[in-house]
A and B are shown apart, each in its own frame.
Chain A
Amino acid sequence: MVVLLGAGAGLSGLGFLASAGFSARDEPSSVEAFVARRLRNFSIPRAHRDASNPVVLTPVVLARAREHFADHCASCHGNDGRGQTTLGRNLYPKAPDMQLADTQGLPDGHLFWIIKNGVRLTGMPAWGEDTPADDATTWELVHFIRHLPRLTAEELAEMRESNPRGRRDWEAAEAERRFLEGGDVAPAPPSSDAGH
């Protein structure tokens, strides 16, 4: 009887979803977030979770990681790691605010594994190859993620220069710079959609 009721409820739920549809724009429910977080933690071997960062933090390391993050990660995560980008906000689950405790509270080894191996069924891909050089780059990114809550305006301005851009974006950025400095406005101002 209970099985039949459960099956009936399940079929009703599927029928509702089939008619209403669902979208990646939605915010995951607390149940989904809980399950996804547990599944992500489950994907990391115990031996790797508590690994400490073997790369010594220096200003050069931080600068290199900052540039790498701006070029490879900021499209989804944003230069400040808050995930407030068109891609980050519309992923399912959303790109997290990495300045908050949910990310900052993770052990270094945990962050390393997520960057290197990605997270299944999310927008987070696996980065780099399984080589010492790529692992070192990933550990440098872990240092940068730790630094996110203390990013300065100067660092953010530098990162904007490293964000991937097409020719039109470069031209638009140049037109904006000229305008802000008091120069003439180009015939076709860059009032285009900045979200694409």
Chain B
Amino acid sequence: MRKAAAFLSWIALVAAGPVSAHEGHQHKVMGTVVQVHVDPGKASHVEVKTTDGKTVVLSCDDKTQFVKGKAAAALRDVAAGMRVVATTKEEGKTIRAVEVQLGEMDAAKPAADHHRH
């Protein structure tokens, strides 16, 4: 009886639902913050110049985790010139930051540039 129930449930489990879009893999972005755009009520953005010279715009929302060392941090702790390592996920054309590790200020970079809209 249990085997029959398990088999019927298996049929129900596998034989349903259309194929959906492919969700992106997670990637690492390592670089220095160029600008922080804070837009209350909407996703904020952190512009990062990566170690290989590219510019990447990270979208941050309330699910994005910020960490400084072993302590929790927040978007307000991010400043231009700060070194960061972000774990990101591509969602369409958007690069969403899942976690951002905050590091030291890069000596070669200008001081903070925090934009609020």
Contacts and interface: CB of A to CB of B under 8 A. Distances in A.
21 contacts: A13-B15, A22-B17, A25-B19, A25-B22, A26-B19, A29-B16, A31-B12, A32-B16, A39-B5, A121-B13, A154-B70, A154-B71, A179-B83, A180-B83, A180-B103, A185-B51, A191-B28, A191-B51, A193-B26, A193-B27, A195-B27
A2 interface: no
B36 to A, nearest CB: 17
Interface of B: 2, 5-6, 9-10, 12-20, 22-23, 25-30, 50-52, 67, 69-72, 83-85, 87, 98, 101-104, 106-107
A157 B29 CA distance: 19
Contacts, number: 122
Interface size, A (range): 35 or more
A108 to B, nearest CB: 24
A28 interface: yes
A121 B9 contact: yes
Given A26-B19, A176-B30, 8 more contacts: A20-B18, A22-B19, A25-B19, A32-B12, A42-B5, A172-B28, A180-B83, A182-B83
Contact of A196 (B25, B69, B72, B102): B25
B17 A27 contact: yes
A28 B18 contact: no
A22 B62 CA distance: 32
